[in-house]
Chains A and B, each alone.
Chain A
Amino acid sequence: MEEKVILSCENLTKKYGDVGKETEVVALNDVSFSVKEGEFVAIIGASGSGKSTLLHLLAGVDKATSGKVVIKDTDITKLNNNEMAIFRRKNIGLIYQFYNLLSILNVKENITLPCDLDGVKVDDKKVNELIETLGLKERINHLPNQLSGGQQQRVAIGRALVNNPAIILADEPTGNLDSKASSEIIDLLKFSNKKYNQTILLVTHDEKIAEEADRIIEISDGKIISDKRK
């Protein structure tokens, strides 16, 4: 079966500061690659290598200086902020290092937030199943500050998964967690990758975590220096 390309980027470049002047910083330099449906990709690199910039461009939260990003046949670099926001809530699940949960909403409300924003009726059965998978059944009505870091990150994963996004972008999801919680989170991501054939793109500086992925792209000084499939 021919695997479908979910995400591809071509000649992606991002410069900061005054372009052409002394203060110019090239964060990402002419990066091209593509991700197929169901792939679990880890992007690895040292601090300052440009890996986070890459993820931001892929998520459409930052604008590229040049090049394009195509997700599910849509060139997101051509969308305006508002179209991007709507595209994102339907197609991209974002997971951050610092969870970014709304402190005023409980576990279930945080998870269903993207559906609620979309005005889509929440499929209760599916959400409950998801919460059970996440191991948060007992915590369904808790507020984020009543949860541990690992539990909060699981809520964030649930939130990313709830809309069946085309791709999940995770930015150092374990960066703030101890090793036990970290492996739980990675297991969960792998599980969703296997069970729902969920495409996942994970940014990390931790090689051990990257080893869990199907494919490892290494970035240094804004360029891809290796792209290995297992």
Chain B
Amino acid sequence: MNIVHSIAIKNLKKNKKRTISTIIGIIFSVTLICFVSTLLLSLQTSMINTIKETIGNYHIDIGELSMAEAQVIEENLSGKIDTVGISQIIGAGNFETKNPSKLGIMVEGYNDIALDNREIQLIEGRLPENDKEIVISEYLVNNAQEKIGLGSKIELNVEKVKLGDNDGYRFQDYDGTEKITYTVVGISKQTRKEVYDTRAYIAICKLENFTQKRPTEISFLLKEPNYAYTLYDTLYNKFDNIDINEDLLMWQGFNETNNISNKIQMEILAVLLIAIIVIVSALLIRNSFQISVSERTKEFGMLASIGASKKQLKKSVKFEGVIYALIGIPIGIFIGVAIVYFGILLVNDVLIDTTLGYHLNLEFDLSIPVIIISALLAIFIIYLSSRKPAKIASQISPMEAIRQNNDIVLEKKIKTSKIIKKIWGTEGVIASKNIKRNKKRYRTTLISICICILLLIIASSTINYIYQIIADMYPENYNIAVGFIGGIDEINYDEQVNYFKQIKELDNIEQYSTYIYLNGIIKRNKEVLSDYAYNLNKNINIIVLACEGNVYQNYLNKFGITKLEENQGILVNKFNNNYYEEEKKYDLTKLKDGDNIEVNIAGKEYEFNIKKVTDIDPILAMMSLDYETKTINTSAVLIIPIESLCGKNINNADINNSKIVIESNDANALEKKIFKILDMKNMTLTNYDRQAEESKKITIILSVFLYGLLTVLTVIGISNIYNTITTSMNLRINEFKTLRAVGATKKQFNKMINYESILYSIKSLIIGIILGLILSHLIYLLLIYEHYAISYYFPIIPIVCVIVLVFLIVWIIMKNSMKHIENNLN
């Protein structure tokens, strides 16, 4: 081995502590870079895979085509298309299940590519291999009258379908029937088509031969995915059933010109995080090199004096870097990848029962290029950090070795203010002179502390915003909502009221509110309507809100009313008829308190005595009543007690929406009880507590990730601060000796040290906090303000924490190295 190399190695061995702390710093930074890049890559892969599974692996999908049209499209795009999935609707047959609204099974044939690329998520079994084998949904299995499983035969009297065309209006026409026996070979999750189809289940077989007449759907992947947007725009007007898979395109990194794709967003995030990591770790590593070089000044001088060339001296410093890299990088990569791997296992374990939207199953994705880039980046950091110290080392003159002392040559006189002397005495003067003299050295420390402060403030305010956004997603005053979808199901007003009555008598209910939301009409009548409303020349719509319960009662109390009788109501007499004048509201009627109002509900006239005419919008006032209709209400509203319309034969068809919302002390228990008395058929039940739990898990994982990242960065920062302070204290040992010699007491030493710590703690705190506030405000303005109704969060708690932490850390380190020096002095 070359002498230069062996000197470098021996030096590293001699300064074990610093070598190890530097290597740990490198390991940390490689770990972080690897962690961030692998995690974001895995996240991206997981998103793409989830999209492929739940939406499908295609860029453009066009349905309701004739086979001829499909062929024309395919031919026109022949050079641009990568793969084409083709499916045809074969027909539907009656099939009775527990769900009365689903009348039968619709059979669709998919070609091989469609089977692979469309969103068939097999739970068990396999894909069909001929046109007599089918995949059915789990939903159908659960709803079947008799048990259906793999291998079951389903006999359908299939009414075959052909595409009809009537003046450009497409419709499905019948084309004879055929009795076909299908064999179930696979069970899948519900496809989107089956969810949207109100009448039929969907079964998928293999498409063995195309028929010209059948309705055809093609979905294709493009060779140049960016072209999808242009293609979509040109085809959009020609075909009704065209769909662009924007989610997939965005995650694959293809975006419309004025849009940033998710992939690029991810990459920006990665670059930002990695940039921070690189800066923090480069500071640490550079510092460590600098310390090494300044401690070895004499040695370099001696080497220069006996004839070591500049190159050799540079090499000696850089070789230290090579050793750091050889040890630090592989370990760092290993740890980083391992953390992501086990982290994903853990996260999947925690999120396994997610019911929020689609289930995101995180997949571990290790990419060799990413690893190589991480390693190269680390090498780059080490090289960059070693460059300047190496240059300094090569420029050390042999005189440094010959000189017999280490006195620092002062180039400028340093002035200190008189105030410092007054407050802190001579100790303060010496301390502030020291800081000013070693500006460069302190700058590194200052930057390290500032970055830590900055990150802490930004991370904590970001997490705060995320918590607020998530909290905002859920209603505050209730945690269970049970509703009936209006219009479709045959449950009339009285039955609904009866169901609500059963529900509100259950246990675990703190308070509840019920409302049924109907459309009413006020006939055009000069006596009743305001001039503005009358002049609109039509009957005016009004919302009739039949209510019961807590929120309703609070609303009544606002007007000093304890109870409304069946024939009484409250009129919210403001409405808006003009789409373009959203803000303006007009009086609907001339009516006053005590007048009667006639409203047409479901074709019958009802008369109510108005207890109160008001402007207070119940939907805004009862914000908490219905979380989903938080939108600004543009109609006038008549509020009546729920009993008013009982026994009036009002069909569900006339009901817009109905709901009971409950504040429960045990939402999960209540949910089970409600399921016992009501079957799921026509009802929607939302348990916000359970959903909130899921979001909370995601937030916790996010917090762990952010704070974990922050902790590691802080550790790097602190070790950097530690390195700088300890070395600068060691270099000043002569100064301390002199001070001791001229009779400085221990107390005076401490005073000096305390002053130094306070001086640059304050400096870095001021810079760090101001920058942190500016950046966190920017984040608020750019990312939060536009999209969410969340007020700016002033990160007062993080700031207090940061102030305490910085003083504590700096003071502890100073004190510690002082102790070390005192031991050396005696």
Chain A residues in the interface with B (C-beta under 8 A)? 52, 56, 59, 61-62, 81-82, 85-90, 92, 94, 96-98, 100-105, 109, 113-114, 116-118, 159, 171
- A residues near B404, Cβ cutoff 8 Å: 97-98
Bound CA span A88–B397, Å: 13
Bound CA span A156–B302, Å: 11
Does residue B4 face the partner (Cβ distance < 8 Å to A)? yes
Known: A94-B305, A117-B4. A171 touches B402 (CB 8 A): yes
- B residues near A102, Cβ cutoff 8 Å: 7, 299, 302-303
20 A/B residue pairs, CB under 8 Å, sorted by A: A56-B402, A61-B397, A61-B398, A62-B397, A81-B397, A82-B311, A85-B304, A85-B308, A86-B307, A87-B307, A88-B306, A89-B308, A92-B307, A97-B404, A104-B7, A104-B11, A117-B307, A117-B308, A117-B309, A117-B312
Does residue B286 face the partner (Cβ distance < 8 Å to A)? no
Question: Are A85's CB and B10's CB within 8 A?
Answer: no
Question: Are B305's CB and A88's CB within 8 A?
Answer: yes
Q: Nearest residue in A to B8 (C-beta to C-beta)? A: A104
Bound CA span A62–B304, Å: 12
Question: Are B309's CB and A82's CB within 8 A?
Answer: yes
Question: Are A59's CB and B308's CB within 8 A?
Answer: no
Q: Nearest residue in B to A89 (C-beta to C-beta)? A: B307
Partner of A114, one of B307, B311, B402: B307
Chain B proximity of A102: nearest CB distance (Å): 6
- B residues near A94, Cβ cutoff 8 Å: 305-306, 398
Bound CA span A61–B400, Å: 10
- B residues near A114, Cβ cutoff 8 Å: 306-307
Bound CA span A103–B13, Å: 12
- B residues near A82, Cβ cutoff 8 Å: 309-311
Chain A proximity of B621: nearest CB distance (Å): 81
Does residue B399 face the partner (Cβ distance < 8 Å to A)? yes
- A residues near B408, Cβ cutoff 8 Å: none
Question: Are B402's CB and A105's CB within 8 A?
Answer: no
Q: Nearest residue in B to A87 (C-beta to C-beta)? A: B307
Question: Are B306's CB and A113's CB within 8 A?
Answer: yes
- A residues near B299, Cβ cutoff 8 Å: 102
Q: Nearest residue in B to A62 (C-beta to C-beta)? A: B399
Chain B binding surface SS class: helix
Bound CA span A96–B305, Å: 10
- A residues near B308, Cβ cutoff 8 Å: 85, 89, 117
Q: Nearest residue in A to B13 (C-beta to C-beta)? A: A104
Question: Are B306's CB and A117's CB within 8 A?
Answer: yes
Does residue B17 face the partner (Cβ distance < 8 Å to A)? no
Which 5 residue pairs across A and B have the least CB separation, nearest first? A89-B307, A116-B3, A61-B398, A104-B10, A100-B302
Q: Nearest residue in A to B14 (C-beta to C-beta)? A: A104
- A residues near B303, Cβ cutoff 8 Å: 102, 113, 117
Chain B proximity of A153: nearest CB distance (Å): 14
Q: Nearest residue in A to B310 (C-beta to C-beta)? A: A82
Q: Please provide the chain B residues from 262 to 312 with a CB less than 8 Å away from any CB of chain A in the complex.
A: 298-299, 301-312
Bound CA span A89–B308, Å: 7
Question: Are B3's CB and A89's CB within 8 A?
Answer: no
- A residues near B10, Cβ cutoff 8 Å: 104-105
The residue in B298, B304, B307 that gathers the most chain A C-beta atoms within 10 A of its C-beta is: B307
- B residues near A109, Cβ cutoff 8 Å: 3
Question: Are B307's CB and A56's CB within 8 A?
Answer: no
Q: Nearest residue in B to A52 (C-beta to C-beta)? A: B402
Question: Are B309's CB and A85's CB within 8 A?
Answer: yes
Bound CA span A59–B309, Å: 15
Question: Are A85's CB and B310's CB within 8 A?
Answer: yes
Does residue B381 face the partner (Cβ distance < 8 Å to A)? no
Does residue B86 face the partner (Cβ distance < 8 Å to A)? no
Q: Please provide the chain B residues from 1 to 59 with a CB less than 8 Å away from any CB of chain A in the complex.
A: 2-4, 7, 10-11, 13-14
- A residues near B184, Cβ cutoff 8 Å: none
Does residue B458 face the partner (Cβ distance < 8 Å to A)? no
Partner of B305, one of A61, A87, A104, A118: A61
Does residue B661 face the partner (Cβ distance < 8 Å to A)? no
Question: Are A96's CB and B401's CB within 8 A?
Answer: yes
